[in-house]
Amino acid sequence: MKQLTAKEVETLLNEGKTLNIIDVREVDEVAAGKIPGAVNIPLGLIEFRMHELEKAKEYVMVCRSGGRSGRASQFLESQGLKVINMIGGMLAWEGNVE
């Protein structure tokens, strides 16, 4: 499974790269702040909402610390999707939030 640190993701965004970020935290966690542009799909719903994701795109998975996003990444990868887990999660995120 591919991985990026929170700092690497922030750098890519600051360079103007378009990243497809999926935040797998619960709705109340995301309400406290998420990476700008991230789409919230709670881990428990990923199986039921994966039809919203395109196999042609690569997705950066994010959670609080990197554990749930790791599980989501493994599952989506097993379904043929291209994913990158952001290790450290939002605890390591120093960039802007919305």
Residue 63 annotated in active site: yes
- Write down the catalytic residue from 21, 53, 63, 86: 63
Residue where the block lists tokens 């103007």: 16
What single-letter DSSP state applies at residue 76?
H
Are residues 93 and 16 in contact, defined by beta-carbon separation less than 8 angstroms? Answer: no
Give the end-to-end CA distance of the chain in Å, rounded to a whole number: 28
Q: Which sequence positions are flagged as catalytic? A: 63
